[in-house]
Chains A and B, each alone.
Chain A
Amino acid sequence: MLLEFEKPIADLELKLQEMKELAKGKKIDLATDIQSLEEKIQTLKKETFQNLTRWQRVQLSRHAERPYALDYIYEITNDFVELHGDRTVKDDKAMIGGLGDIEGRTIMFIGQQKGRNTKQRQERNFGMANPEGYRKALRLMKMAEKFGKPIVTLIDTPGAFPGIEAEERGQGEAIARNLKEMFMLKVPVICIIIGEGASGGALGIAIGDKVYMLENTWYSVISPESCSSILWRSWDYKEQAAEALKLTAIDMKNNGLVDGIIEEPLGGAHKDMKAMAKILKQTILDSLKELDRIKPEKRIEQRIDKFCSMGVFEV
């Protein structure tokens, strides 16, 4: 699975591989050719990825090979115990959570989970949680608070699920409650958008002392496609909608709506999952170090003040 702008790079990489094979087999000295091709690839990669359009970043955030929440969690923790269920209705597989440790520190991990193949995608409902998912998340957050463990949420959702049962069980109420309760959590909360951050479905687990976005992710009130269909009355203006919504990590950071951007390996997180996980782990550790120094009441106050200062208006 390659995106349009990944193709020229992939073509060159294939050529490089062929060249290396050739050099191995026939003992011809292609070292200089190989080196120049490698340099060419690197330059092309840099050029491509430094000049991504907003829509291209949206595409990267949805890349079929992009690492998902559980990929990162298993990569960065020594032990991880997944916990299930909201204790009321069922276990929502679009929302995962559990206790894990990094460098001896136990953390409550919570996140939306997408699937890799058709079967998994259905099981995970494409990362679209139902109310029980948000209630499961809240149950785990309250547990973390009880045991004094910090919370890390990994956000990756095209939205909260719009379905009949979701409405019957109060999708709006479930998200609203999470927003309110998360402000009052006494433990540090770190939220990281690792893929898609669509609207209330994302925000429902994204009230944190630190909110970060990976470089190639998006976070906004609506997806570019839906925005296009509503404001332009056609699905064809998604690129334009992506531009107008200013939904990338850089935009959101510039507008003061997130705290920071986490750099991805060149070519995107899917090109080097282990390297990405390492950066993620370091960010979590650094943030915890900073947040540990603040008293819980002060942390809550700062969390509230931060979100309350967001907005542009004239008095």
Chain B
Amino acid sequence: MAWFKRTDKGIKTSTEEKKDAPDGLWFKTPKGNIIHTRELKNNSYVCPDDDYHVKIGSKEYFEILFDGNKFEELDAKMKSGDPLKFVDSKPYSSRIEQTITKTELNDAVRTAVGKINGLDLVVACMDFNFIGGSMGSVVGEKIARAIDHSLKNKIPFLMISKSGGARMMEAGFSLMQMAKTSAKLALLDKAGIPYISLLTDPTTGGVTASYAMLGDFNIAEPGALIGFAGPRVIRETIGKDLPKGFQSSEFVLEHGFLDFIIDRRQLKNRLTTLLKLLNN
């Protein structure tokens, strides 16, 4: 009997047993370079051929920053309410539930405390996958509590922003998160505890107009979109095309609103240097 002869007809593996194909084993950068995801991971999710910084979330940033990927997560269980019973194309409450299932995240920010190269650091990192990284009550409150943790334990604070802005479904409540986070940063400022704000692609709207721009050190990843108003809104308002490179990290640095741009592969060491310089 031929070894290749099929004895049982049809496909025997049931749908449930089939393994999901890894979510993109290969990654293609906007410039067309193709890289294996394992290699990408070992390179801080930066393409070695064209230095493209892949959009990543809190899981990846924590892994890049914290020694041995060890950290204590703060307020991990906090979830959104629906104070306005907001309904657009679907109710906000079900949008939240579905997003939690889909992303395995509880909201658009995760906060944690751990060590980077042996130095204590509180990190709040936004997740763009969660409703565009929008800032609602949970984002505001978790950041506020992370700053409280910094204040109480006198540990520097790092905020990694990645957000389209405020979360419309929480309307007035989301607006006031800008005020809340700024209030806490005012207290951190007064206490003389360093605050580093890392802006990543994209950082716009109410996030830019509050905590993202309030760092003692405002730093950004290369090529990120950083602005208050989104490019589309500006184009529609002024009725003109926008200059090339407008609202990029490099543009924002040139206009004096960033201290420096940092390649993600050097992020951890540069932060360490900065923190050590402050400690000396």
* Complex CA–CA separation, A96 to B268 (angstroms): 45
* Complex CA–CA separation, A308 to B190 (angstroms): 17
A160, A176, A257, A315: the one within 8 Å of B77 (CB): A315
Residues of B within 8 A of A169 (CB): 255
Question: Is B220 interfacial (CB 8 A cutoff)?
Answer: no
* Complex CA–CA separation, A312 to B176 (angstroms): 11
* Inter-chain CB contacts under 8 Å: number: 188
Q: Do A176 and B137 touch across chains, with their CB atoms under 8 A apart? A: no
B172, B182, B228: the one within 8 Å of A246 (CB): B172
* Complex CA–CA separation, A246 to B169 (angstroms): 10
* Complex CA–CA separation, A176 to B183 (angstroms): 10
Question: Is B274 interfacial (CB 8 A cutoff)?
Answer: no
List A268-315 residues whose CB lies under 8 Å from chain B: 303-304, 307-308, 310-315
- Closest approach, in angstroms, between the C-beta of A114 and any C-beta of chain B? 17
Q: A255-B83, A311-B141 are in contact. Are A176 and B172 (CB under 8 A)?
A: no
List B1-50 residues whose CB lies under 8 Å from chain A: none
B-binding segment of A2-10, A79-87, A100-108, A215-223: A215-223
* Complex CA–CA separation, A177 to B216 (angstroms): 12
Q: Do A176 and B213 touch across chains, with their CB atoms under 8 A apart? A: yes
A-binding segment of B59-67, B113-121, B152-160, B202-210: B202-210
Q: A203-B178, A231-B168, A313-B81 are in contact. Are A163 and B189 (CB under 8 A)?
A: no
* Complex CA–CA separation, A239 to B166 (angstroms): 21
Number of A residues, CB within 8 Å of B? 52
Q: Do B166 and A221 touch across chains, with their CB atoms under 8 A apart? A: yes
Q: A180-B186, A200-B206, A244-B88 are in contact. Are A221 and B229 (CB under 8 A)?
A: no
Q: A167-B247, A170-B257, A311-B141 are in contact. Are A179 and B80 (CB under 8 A)?
A: no
B78, B83, B212, B257: the one within 8 Å of A315 (CB): B78
Chain B: number of interface residues, binned into ranges: 35 or more
Q: A175-B228, A176-B209 are in contact. Are A247 and B182 (CB under 8 A)?
A: no
* Complex CA–CA separation, A219 to B171 (angstroms): 9
Question: Is A145 interfacial (CB 8 A cutoff)?
Answer: no
Question: Is B108 interfacial (CB 8 A cutoff)?
Answer: no
Q: Do B209 and A200 touch across chains, with their CB atoms under 8 A apart? A: yes
Residues of B within 8 A of A251 (CB): 172
Q: Do B77 and A162 touch across chains, with their CB atoms under 8 A apart? A: no
Question: Is A230 interfacial (CB 8 A cutoff)?
Answer: yes
Question: Is A41 interfacial (CB 8 A cutoff)?
Answer: no
**Beta-carbon nearest neighbor of B138 in chain A:** A313
Question: Is B214 interfacial (CB 8 A cutoff)?
Answer: yes
List B236-263 residues whose CB lies under 8 Å from chain A: 237-238, 240, 242-243, 246-247, 255-257
Q: Do B255 and A163 touch across chains, with their CB atoms under 8 A apart? A: no
Residues of B within 8 A of A200 (CB): 175, 178, 205-206, 209-210, 228
**Beta-carbon nearest neighbor of B135 in chain A:** A221
B80, B233, B240: the one within 8 Å of A314 (CB): B80
- Closest approach, in angstroms, between the C-beta of B236 and any C-beta of chain A? 9
- Closest approach, in angstroms, between the C-beta of B26 and any C-beta of chain A? 33
Q: Do B83 and A312 touch across chains, with their CB atoms under 8 A apart? A: yes
Question: Is A171 interfacial (CB 8 A cutoff)?
Answer: yes
Can you spell out 22 A-B residue pairs with CB atoms less than 8 angstroms apart? A160-B209, A164-B234, A167-B234, A167-B247, A168-B255, A170-B257, A171-B209, A172-B213, A173-B257, A176-B208, A176-B213, A177-B213, A180-B185, A204-B209, A232-B88, A310-B137, A310-B176, A311-B138, A311-B140, A312-B83, A312-B170, A315-B75
Interface residues of B (CB under 8 A from A): 75, 77-84, 86-89, 137-138, 140-141, 144, 166-168, 170-180, 182-187, 189-190, 205-206, 208-214, 227-229, 233-234, 237-238, 240, 242-243, 246-247, 255-257
Report the 10 A-B pairs with minimum CB-CB distance, sorted nearest first.
Answer: A162-B229, A172-B208, A311-B137, A179-B182, A312-B81, A172-B228, A312-B83, A171-B228, A231-B88, A310-B176
Interface residues of A (CB under 8 A from B): 160-164, 166-173, 175-177, 179-181, 183-184, 199-200, 203-204, 207, 219-222, 227, 230-232, 244-247, 251-252, 255, 257, 303-304, 307-308, 310-315
